[in-house]
């Protein structure tokens, strides 16, 4: 059984979240604070499972490899990507170098990150002040990124306008799956648990999870312009509906969250709101050929490239992640909307948990999203890049299958709508380690 009191609980649906990236300047003092003050404030999974136990402000902490080194914890966690740090992975992830990276993410400067989540700015800020007071003299703040749910009816939607946070794997022993939700052994997400692909882990790391963080800027006006200029000319649809359909086919869901596999031509907000139906699909349909038919969903759609379901069912279990990101940055201004040019940065503070970064985030980005030949075994050898997150080092990306009338037609995406500003890999340690190995 999983020790849910020992597993850090990252809130999935939150209104405000701060990422405080830090370096450790006084090791002895930091360890003392970690053991005496921070550990008791870290939110457990048990606390998050029951609403009445949820703290007003949730706190998590995670360390990079350089952070473990700064704490003089030499133990190898046996994750190659974690050991190397994310900067070394920039080419593997499809970034055009690191010129566009936030400076703080370069040179392994960041030792760790505090994640603070709450429903109001006031709570978040007062907690942040407390944390700063506790850690005075022990850390240097390298970078602060402020995330927030979008306002009003856009709450829960990312900046392109699509409902996010619908499909997550169900971890055995932790949550009961909804229809269509895949059950995975805990070791796919948690280090040292059942079916962790790596057998050699230090005992103290059990119940921890690797946190892959990426700051992904989104070019929203440019994305909207692309949709407006390229409506899918499907009989019976207006130009506007054709533009909305193009967006939905790039993602694999409508803005409401309704999956296009079940609602292929028009949005279905009732379906979107129903948790027993909105994830209950596999891309397979009786009498339709899953190897050739893209009438409902392109092979290249974002949710199909990153979770192929029936296309690839036998092996995809090990490539699952739990996503816990939040939007950052302001709403599109009228001037940006009018000019179709982004002038203020906004995007997704992307967070993914997994027991192996090479099987999880890194694999999904490199082997699936950025690989034009994936999904393999289809009538089309090159379904193309993931139109949302696929990255080709800044070069043009070709995507097919988007036009249901002519699925062979390629769209050559000249610019990326999602642009990497870099990130880091962290280990979200089990809570016992915060007063154990890490504080010793």
Active site residue 107: no
* Nearest residue to ligand N7H, by Cβ distance, number only: 167
Least Cβ distance, residue 346 to ligand N7H (angstroms): 10
Nearer to ligand N7H, 30 or 368 (CB): 368
Nearer to ligand N7H, 91 or 122 (CB): 91
Least Cβ distance, residue 348 to ligand N7H (angstroms): 4
C-alpha–C-alpha distance, residues 376 and 254, integer Å:
25
Q: Classify 394 as helix, strand or coil.
A: coil
C-alpha–C-alpha distance, residues 148 and 124, integer Å:
11
**Would you give the DSSP letter of residue 326?**
E
Contact 331, 393 (CB under 8 A): no
C-alpha–C-alpha distance, residues 169 and 174, integer Å:
11
Least Cβ distance, residue 349 to ligand N7H (angstroms): 9
Nearer to ligand N7H, 233 or 310 (CB): 310
Alpha-carbon distances, residue 55 vs 41, 47, 141, 174 (angstroms): 9, 7, 24, 20
C-alpha–C-alpha distance, residues 54 and 313, integer Å:
36
Contact 318, 308 (CB under 8 A): no
Contact 134, 123 (CB under 8 A): no
Is residue 303 near ligand N7H by the rule CB under 6 A?
yes
Is residue 307 near ligand N7H by the rule CB under 6 A?
yes
Least Cβ distance, residue 323 to ligand N7H (angstroms): 6
C-alpha–C-alpha distance, residues 360 and 215, integer Å:
17
C-alpha–C-alpha distance, residues 381 and 372, integer Å:
8
Alpha-carbon distances, residue 108 vs 90, 287, 403, 439 (angstroms): 13, 53, 43, 21
Among 84, 96, 156, 165, binds ligand N7H (CB under 6 A): 165
Q: Kindly write down the DSSP assignment for every residue of 121-136, as one continuous string.
A: HHHHHHHHHHHHHHHT
Which run of H or E residues covers position 49? helix 45-49
Least Cβ distance, residue 225 to ligand N7H (angstroms): 16
Least Cβ distance, residue 287 to ligand N7H (angstroms): 23
Residues in 207-236 that interact with ligand N7H by CB under 6 A: 214, 216, 218
Binding segment toward ligand N7H, per CB under 6 A, in 10-18, 72-80, 102-110, 164-172:
164-172
Among 206, 219, 302, 397, binds ligand N7H (CB under 6 A): 302
Among 215, 300, 355, 365, binds ligand N7H (CB under 6 A): 365
Chain CA centroid to CA 369, Å: 13
Which run of H or E residues covers position 140? strand 139-148
How many residues of this chain interact with ligand N7H, rule: CB under 6 A?
28
Least Cβ distance, residue 195 to ligand N7H (angstroms): 19
Is residue 162 near ligand N7H by the rule CB under 6 A?
yes
C-alpha–C-alpha distance, residues 128 and 122, integer Å:
10
Nearer to ligand N7H, 186 or 259 (CB): 259
Q: Residues 320-349 vs ligand N7H: string with x where CB under 6 A? A: -x-x-----------------------xx-
Binding segment toward ligand N7H, per CB under 6 A, in 41-49, 103-111, 299-307, 402-410:
299-307
Among 17, 158, 336, 416, binds ligand N7H (CB under 6 A): 158
Is residue 418 near ligand N7H by the rule CB under 6 A?
yes
**Catalytic residue of the set 10, 79, 95, 164:** 164
Cβ neighbours of residue 22 under 8 Å, at least 6 residues apart? 110, 111, 112, 113, 114, 135, 139, 140, 141, 142
Residues in 45-104 that interact with ligand N7H by CB under 6 A: none
Binding site for ligand N7H (CB under 6 A): 158, 160, 162, 164-167, 214, 216, 218, 251, 253, 302-303, 306-307, 321, 323, 347-348, 350, 361, 364-365, 369, 388-389, 418
Q: Tell me which residues are annotated as active site.
A: 164
């Amino acid at each position: 059984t999983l020790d849910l009191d020992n597993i850090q609980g990252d809130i999935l649906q939150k209104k405000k979240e701060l990422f405080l990236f830090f370096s450790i300047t006084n090791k002895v003092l930091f360890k003392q604070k970690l053991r005496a003050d921070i550990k008791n404030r870290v939110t457990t999974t048990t606390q998050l499972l029951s609403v009445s136990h949820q703290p007003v402000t949730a706190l998590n902490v995670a360390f990079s490899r350089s952070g473990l080194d700064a704490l003089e914890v030499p133990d190898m966690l046996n994750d190659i990507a974690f050991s190397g740090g994310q900067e070394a992975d920039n080419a593997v992830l499809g970034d055009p170098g690191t010129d566009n990276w936030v400076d703080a993410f370069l040179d392994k400067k960041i030792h760790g990150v505090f994640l603070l989540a709450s429903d109001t700015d006031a709570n978040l800020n007062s907690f942040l002040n407390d944390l700063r007071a506790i850690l005075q003299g022990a850390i240097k703040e390298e970078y602060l990124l402020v995330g927030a749910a979008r306002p009003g009816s856009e709450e829960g939607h990312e900046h392109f306008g699509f409902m996010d946070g619908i499909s997550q794997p169900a971890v055995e022993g932790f949550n009961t799956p909804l229809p269509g939700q895949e059950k995975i052994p805990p070791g796919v997400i948690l280090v040292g648990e059942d079916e962790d692909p790596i057998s050699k882990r230090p005992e103290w790391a059990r119940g921890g999870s690797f946190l892959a963080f990426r700051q992904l800027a989104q070019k929203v006006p440019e994305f909207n312009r692309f949709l407006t200029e390229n409506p899918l000319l499907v009989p019976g649809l207006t130009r506007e509906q054709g533009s909305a359909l193009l967006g939905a086919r790039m993602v694999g869901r409508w803005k409401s969250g309704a999956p296009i596999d079940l609602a292929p031509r028009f949005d279905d907000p009732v379906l979107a709101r129903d948790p027993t139906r909105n994830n209950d699909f596999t891309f397979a349909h009786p009498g339709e050929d899953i190897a050739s038919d893209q009438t409902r969903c392109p092979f290249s759609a974002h949710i199909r490239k990153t979770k192929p379901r029936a296309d690839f069912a036998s092996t995809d279990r090990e490539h699952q992640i739990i996503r816990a990101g939040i939007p950052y940055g302001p709403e599109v201004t009228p001037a940006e909307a009018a000019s179709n040019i982004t002038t203020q940065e906004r995007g997704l503070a992307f967070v993914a948990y997994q027991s192996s970064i090479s099987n999880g985030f890194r694999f999904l980005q490199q082997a699936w999203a950025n690989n034009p030949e994936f999904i393999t075994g289809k009538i089309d050898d090159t379904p193309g890049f993931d139109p949302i997150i696929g990255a080709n080092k800044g070069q043009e990306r070709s995507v097919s299958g988007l036009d249901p009338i002519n699925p062979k037609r390629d769209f050559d995406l000249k610019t990326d709508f999602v642009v990497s500003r870099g990130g880091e890999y962290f280990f979200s340690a089990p809570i016992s380690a915060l007063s154990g190995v890490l504080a010793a």
